[in-house]
Amino acid sequence: MTKIGILGVGKYLPENVLTNADLEKMLDTTDEWIVTRTGIKERRIAAENEATSDMAVKAAKLALKNAKLEPEDIDLIIVATITPDMFFPSTACVVQQKLGARKVPAFDISVACSGYVYGLTLADSLIKTGGYKRALVIAAEKLSAVTDWEERSTCVLFGDGAGAAVLGPVEEGGILGAALGADGSKGDLLQLPAGGSRMPASIKTVENKLHTIKMEGNVLFKHAVKIMADAALAVTEPLGLKGDDIDLIIPHQANIRILKALAKRMGVDPEKKLYLNIEKYGNMSAASSAVAFTEAVESGRIKKGDIILIDAFGGGLTWGALIIKW
Ligand code: ACO
């Protein structure tokens, strides 16, 4: 069967940096609390007139450039986001138009922080079975638009950004396997309650800040390590891979303590095998692992022949782990 791999990657981070010192002026919090509990020092915040599709398009253009391809070479567009420009049309359709791509299938997926892994997996399958040749997968989020800036337990965590990848046939390496999952019974742990058909927007929903992210952080924390470790096993075991065989883990950047615990559970040295950028960007949901993967490629941390594990979990709950040989 044809091998499908990544032909090019790109990322976009908004210019505006919001530091922990800035947050200290806005809320009852400290740099010390945020750094010790989360590992985050600063995050990027999109401009008011900058929507998710604007960031997505910037990341996508760089991914196309790196792949030495033009928008018309793309046969499929998938955008992973929980902060679409609007309910519909999908952000993927907006991106298609802004890029000047052909009238190819374009759709969003809503799986929170697991979006990049779900998107890559879907694109891999659709290229293998659906007659498409090259796909553009973008993970983009403007979480600042759905953050309650008076709620210190959540607003210090999130940031905005976008990462993109162009997928297509490769001679060597490529995606070796993926494992996806979801557990809807724990959906209440992380949600944005209002604005949908269950609780349409009203003056009351706005007054009660129900259009912002609600999270039971400490309960989620306990599930996160096990979920990410189990997802890693679900993808590595069938491929006969052990912790030592993985050259680099690109985890969803939710919390430094979760990631160090994951490394311990997998029996790998976090200093050597874990790619971390949470310090600079916070949690950008689906965009986190996309930006981290892109940075690792751009900085040369990922080398030809390396075995990479991308491992994510998020609201839904959802999770996904994917192995790619570079
Ligand atoms: N500054 C100062 N104090 C704070 C802050 C803050 N920013 N936020 C909370 N506190 C206080 C709390 O009020 C609490 O005080 P109390 O003991 O007097 O009640 C105390 O700190 C401890 O609060 P906890 O919530 O128990 O702190 P915890 O150590 O669990 O850290 C955190 C919170 C960082 C949110 C952690 O639970 C976490 O990272 N959870 C996982 C988040 C996650 O992975 N989410 C999923 C992905 S996100 C997505 O899908 C979009």
**317 close to ligand 1 (CB < 6 Angstrom):** no
- The structural domains of the chain, with segments of one domain joined by +, span 4-172, 176-325
Q: Is the pTM of this model over 0.85?
A: yes
Distance, first Cα to last Cα, the chain: 18
How many angstroms does the Cα of residue 218 sit away from the middle of ligand 1?
6
Per-position pLDDT tens, the chain of length 326: 689 999 999 999 999 999 999 999 999 999 999 999 999 999 999 999 999 999 999 999 999 999 999 999 999 999 999 999 999 999 999 999 999 999 999 999 999 999 999 999 999 999 999 889 999 999 999 999 999 999 999 999 999 999 999 999 999 999 999 999 999 999 999 999 999 999 999 999 999 999 999 999 999 999 999 999 999 999 999 999 998 899 999 999 999 999 999 999 988 999 999 999 999 999 999 999 999 999 999 999 999 999 999 999 999 999 999 999 99
**255 close to ligand 1 (CB < 6 Angstrom):** yes
Fold (topology level) of 4-172: Peroxisomal Thiolase; Chain A, domain 1 (3.40.47)
How many angstroms does the Cα of residue 238 sit away from the middle of ligand 1?
36
Give Cβ neighbours of residue 205 (< 8 Å, ≥ 6 apart): 193, 194, 195, 199, 211
Is the preceding omega at residue 210 within 30 degrees of 0, hence cis? no
- Do the domains spanning 4-172 and 176-325 agree at the CATH topology level? yes
Classify 176-325 by CATH class.
alpha beta
